[in-house]
Amino acid sequence: MDLALIRKSMVDDQLRNRGIKDRRVLEAFLKVERHKFVPEDLLDNAYADFPLPIGEKQTISQPYIVALMTEKLELKGTERVLEIGTGSGYQAAILAELVKQVYTIERFDALAKQAQATLLAMGYQNIKITVGDGTLGWPEEAPFERIIITAATPRVPQPLFEQLAEGGKMILPLGDFAGQVLTLVEKKNGQPHTQDICGCVFVPLVGKFGQ
Ligand code: SAM
């Protein structure tokens, strides 16, 4: 199985063909070995066009959704980014290719440990992982120029909006089990400006300021 070739097909068929254009984002998806983030028994589906289970009833998101969320953040390379929902660590690895520093929070200890091991083995030096309720954010490291929430919540968790830098962008699935919309939130003069992107399906953001 030529995984580099399969990865290239994923980038061409699932990302480029659906409108992902940011050259740096496409390069990151070509580089990061997604198969290292999925359970061994699902290796054959590592580059498939759907989410996969990663344990604890959680998922690694569909490649296109990871790419879309990443592209909408319009990353230049200098940013400090906060991710809520480390999961497998795949989104964190993609971000680490594109920004200065990634901070990521996961509520399940087992998932955080596994992601940490995977990311260390791959040599990432610019990702910090912690275990806890991500809806509280990471106040010691705030403010963040970008925040990405990879689990669904009916409203923007207030601590996270507070920890978003002025002029910063946050992307998240807003909604619950009945329906969710991928939403981009920009902070301008301290106020949220929101833009709906598309419908989506994510596991719930479970925490004090989530579901
Ligand atoms: N970004 C992940 C990846 O690349 O594999 C996929 C994330 S998965 C769709 C959502 C993750 O959010 C799950 O691992 C879940 O445990 C986590 N999560 C849910 N609520 C959370 C919270 N309050 N704080 C931190 N993590 C949370």
CA nearest to 198, candidates 176, 178, 177, 173: 173
Those residues whose C-beta lies under 8 Å from the C-beta of residue 51, and which sit 6 or more positions away, are 59, 60, 61, 62, 65
Task: Name the 3-class secondary structure at 40.
Answer: helix
Closest-CA residue, ligand 1 atom 18, reads: 85
Instruction: Please give the pLDDT value at position 172.
Output: 98
Mutate to test the pocket of ligand 1, among 52, 102, 205, 209 (most ligand atoms within 8 A of CB): 205
All structural domains of the chain, each given as residue ranges with its CATH number in brackets, are 3-200 (3.40.50.150)
For residue 107, give Cα distances in angstroms to 85, 87, 100, 135, 200. 7, 9, 24, 10, 22
Whether the Cβ atoms of residue 186 and residue 193 lie closer than 8 Å to each other: yes
Residue 111 CA: nearest ligand 1 atom is 14
61 is catalytic: yes
In tens digits, what is the pLDDT along the chain, a chain of 211 residues?
Answer: 799 999 999 999 999 999 999 999 999 999 999 999 999 999 999 999 999 999 999 999 999 999 999 999 999 999 999 999 999 999 999 999 999 999 999 999 999 999 999 999 999 999 999 999 999 999 999 999 999 999 999 999 999 999 999 999 999 999 988 899 999 999 999 999 999 999 999 999 999 999 8
Calculate Rg over the CA atoms of the chain.
16
Burial 187-209 (b: 16+ CB within 10 A, else e): beeeeeeeeeeeebebbbbebeb
Q: How high is the pLDDT of residue 1?
A: 79
- Cα(210) to ligand 1 centroid in Å equals 12
Model pLDDT, residue 178: 85
Catalytic residue among 58, 59, 61, 104: 61
E runs forming strands in the chain: 52-55, 58-60, 80-84, 101-106, 127-131, 144-149, 164-176, 179-188, 191-200
**Ligand 1, residues 84, 130, 202: which to mutate, most atoms within 8 A of Cβ?**
84
Q: Which residues line ligand 1 (CB under 6 A)?
A: 58-61, 84-85, 87-88, 90-91, 105-108, 111, 133-135, 150-151, 202-203, 205-207, 210
Three-state secondary structure readout of 145-204:
EEEEECCEECCCCHHHHHHEEEEEEEEEEEEECCEEEEEEEEEECCEEEEEEEEEECCCE
